[in-house]
């Protein structure tokens, strides 16, 4: 039996001719030529990069957006962000008593943020190590700092 050896380009050509009845077949189907446009910047959700690839013939366009760089609220905790939106709603409704309480709570959290972060780490560690009595004490300290 005689074995015929092909290189990769010959195999693609053979494959292309075998399936030519099903439409055109490029011998290099994985290669698309085109241009890539890259934009980047910062917004309220953090740092972003947008890459858009457009094929030379304009038939294909792919856009990818990447977000990175830490907390999307730029250093504010989710809790503070939530309280700030509640504060805005209270002011819009002219509920100034609630707004004052929320303002004071936000200030308390922001002024104690370093201590809160430290206690939160200790609390997470205590829960992971199943030291629940310690975790309860740490949770109570956190509540006091946040109120």
At residue 96, the pLDDT reads 92
Q: Is residue 54's pLDDT more than 70? A: yes
Cβ atoms of 62 and 53 closer than 8 Å: yes
CA distance 35 to 99: 52
**Hey, where are the domains in the chain?**
33-74, 78-146
Q: For the residues 40-48, what does the mean pLDDT come to?
A: 77
For residue 17, pLDDT over 60 is answered with yes
Q: What is the pLDDT of residue 6?
A: 58
Residue with tokens 């109120």: 147
Strand partners for 39: 50
Nearest Cα neighbor of 104 from 116, 96, 94 is 96
Alpha carbon distance 8, 28 (integer Å) = 10
Of 26-35, 54-63, 130-139, minimum mean pLDDT range: 26-35
Task: Look up the pTM and report it.
Answer: 0.40
pLDDT at 24: 54
Answer yes or no: is pLDDT of 146 > 90.
no
Q: What is the pLDDT of residue 87?
A: 92
- Convert the pLDDT of each residue in 59-86 to its tens digit: 888 888 888 765 444 456 678 888 898 9
Per-residue pLDDT tens over the stretch 26-41: 555 556 788 888 888 8
Average pLDDT, the chain: 79
């Amino acid at each position: 039996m005689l074995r015929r050896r092909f290189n990769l380009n010959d195999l693609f050509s053979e494959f292309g001719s075998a399936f030519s009845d099903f439409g055109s077949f490029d011998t290099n189907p994985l290669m698309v030529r085109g241009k890539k446009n890259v934009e980047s910047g910062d917004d309220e959700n953090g740092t972003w990069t947008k890459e858009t690839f457009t094929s030379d013939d304009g038939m294909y366009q792919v856009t990818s957006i990447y977000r990175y760089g830490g907390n999307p609220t730029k250093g504010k905790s989710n809790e503070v962000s939530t309280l700030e939106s509640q504060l805005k709603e209270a002011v819009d409704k002219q509920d100034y008593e609630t707004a004052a309480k929320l303002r004071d709570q936000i200030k308390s959290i922001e002024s104690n943020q370093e201590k809160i972060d430290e206690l939160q780490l200790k609390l997470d560690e205590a829960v992971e190590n199943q030291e629940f009595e310690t975790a309860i004490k740490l949770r109570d300290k956190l509540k006091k700092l946040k109120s």
